[in-house]
Amino acid sequence: MAESRRNRRRTTDASSSSRPHPATIDGWISDQEKHADYVHFWQERQIMAVKFIRLDFYRFYDFQFPDLFGVQGLTHLVEQKGCIYPDLIRVFYFNLRYRDRIITTKVKGVTIILDDDVWTNVAQLTIWDDAVKVHLGVPDFNRLLAFQSFLRHPEHQTNCRQLLVGRFKVEERMIHYLIVWLLCPRATNHAQCSEQDLLLLYGILNLIHIDWPTLISDTMLKAKKYNSYHFPYALLISRILEYKGVSVEGELTQAIQAIGTRIGETTFRQMGFVARGRVIIHKDDDHQDDDNDNMDAHMADPIQATDLADVGPFQMPSSSSLTMEEHFANLSKQMEDMHLAQQAHFEQIYEWQQNHEEYVIDQFNDLDTRLGNIENHF
């Protein structure tokens, strides 16, 4: 029955225009007066990198967030995969409109309304009566206290201006990663925790029913408004187009491969996590070698990660200290640690630069909007 209703809906939507719509701008956008605007300002807009997750993989490692996502009704949304239609996604955003609290768009002659039907049947989200627009604020919410509660070692937090996620607990770090890549995706500044990120983390961890349809809609409208933003939700939009009966024949199609898009073991290794059996911990909290400290008390002092000018000439280890194999193993580990520290440092610098650039662009966009409002007023 559900499938037959879906087919009837697709047929009704797709029949809104009897003439064929080719896979060109003439077929994408009915109003020819808008073609020049689309070609000049929208045709090359970037689409955000697509990612998906398999929650059972993280259940194996005893993560709690798969169940938390289940409480939020997010399982289908975050595990969604398939092909995407880049050109049609851009047209979707080009025609996106918000009026009288209703979001609509039009693709290849098919009018699409982002209503409960779309959210429940395509995104498979739950529409709760008690849903909270958490991303817009929570009463008595203290962002610094919330941020500190997510840290592995809150006593080490000294910089209250840059809320970086590198010191997060493993569970909170993974949830934040999924927020900025899947739930409320952005193209840059993933290492920084915004106030909206904190609010969503807080809501998920405290089992608050979050109004995800409103959050997704607001994120879409924001991406349309600012030219610096990449278009998010490519997978979801592609499934909406199919559900609404938009013809995809002849359209540019991109298949989503598991490599590079699935959020898995490589992801938490890049975050500095290591697996110990069925438990994931941060590498800085990995003390598995501490039991051997007493046995190795005679070991030579480790090479310090200091200025290379202070390092003396290389000396072969004596037989009274380390074997050559042990010495080179230690040296290799120290060099790897130095490389990881250097890489993390460069990543923080890059993220700061991206954050600053994004902030400046947002300020200019906001100024442009204000000037436009002033002109309209007069």
Q: With respect to residue 213, please indicate whether it lies within any of the assigned structural domains.
A: no
**What average pLDDT does the structure give for the chain?**
77
Specify the pLDDT at position 157: 64
| Pairs from 26-35 (Cβ < 8 Å, separation ≥ 24) | 27/108, 28/87, 28/88, 28/91, 28/107, 28/108, 29/91, 29/94, 29/95, 30/106, 30/109, 34/94
Q: With respect to residue 215, please indicate whether it lies within any of the assigned structural domains.
A: no
* Torsion sign, CA atoms 275, 276, 278, 280: negative
Given a cut of 70, whether residue 82 has pLDDT beyond it is yes
Q: With respect to residue 14, please indicate whether it lies within any of the assigned structural domains.
A: no
Residue 292 has φ and ψ, to the nearest 5°, of: -95, 5
Q: What is the pLDDT of residues 36-77, one digit of tens each?
A: 788 877 888 889 988 888 999 889 888 999 999 999 999 999
Higher local confidence (pLDDT), 224 or 152: 224
Q: With respect to residue 53, please indicate whether it lies within any of the assigned structural domains.
A: no
Q: With respect to residue 341, please indicate whether it lies within any of the assigned structural domains.
A: yes
Q: With respect to residue 93, please indicate whether it lies within any of the assigned structural domains.
A: no
Specify the pLDDT at position 119: 97
Given a cut of 50, whether residue 255 has pLDDT beyond it is yes
- Angle between the N-to-C axes of helices 234-243 and 86-94, in degrees from 0 to 180, rounded to the nearest 10: 90
Given a cut of 70, whether residue 348 has pLDDT beyond it is no
Q: What is the pLDDT of residues 241-250, one digit of tens each?
A: 999 999 998 9
Q: What is the pLDDT of residues 213-234, one digit of tens each?
A: 999 999 999 999 888 889 999 9
Given a cut of 50, whether residue 316 has pLDDT beyond it is no
Q: With respect to residue 116, please indicate whether it lies within any of the assigned structural domains.
A: no
Q: Which domain holds residue 364?
A: 324-378
Domain count, the chain: 1
Confidence of residue 105 (pLDDT cuts 50, 70, 90): very high
Rounded CA-CA distance 39/25 in Å is 9
Q: With respect to residue 328, please indicate whether it lies within any of the assigned structural domains.
A: yes
State the pTM of this model: 0.69
Specify the pLDDT at position 259: 55
Specify the pLDDT at position 203: 94
- Angle between the N-to-C axes of helices 170-178 and 195-205, in degrees from 0 to 180, rounded to the nearest 10: 120
Higher local confidence (pLDDT), 182 or 289: 182
